[in-house]
Amino acid sequence: MSWTEDDRTAPSLGEVQALAEAARAALPAAFRPAARAVAIRVVEYADEEVLRELGIDDPFGLTGLYDGIPLTEKSVMD
């Protein structure tokens, strides 16, 4: 995907998904196995419940969210 200054349209959800997958694939080899275990889900906006739980009024205020157990809190049983 390459964009020019004249291209003023926002990327589609599929294009954002492809960019995220490409970024994950470009990680150093040591990080790729752990990164493959993280699901990447691209949506237009977070739902109202998520925004409310995070105290965010403007849906444009949330551009990324990890939902899961932080690696620092995981055990071998997770």
Q: Is the pLDDT of residue 54 over 90?
A: yes
* DSSP code, position 6: T
Percentage of the chain exceeding pLDDT 90: 65
Radius of gyration, alpha carbons of the chain: 16
- In this prediction, residues 10-38 reach a mean pLDDT of 94
Domains of the chain: which residue ranges?
Answer: 13-62
Q: Which residue has the higher pLDDT, 48 or 76?
A: 48
Stronger pLDDT, 5 or 65, i.e. the higher one: 65
* 64 and 41 Cβ atoms separated by less than 8 Å: no
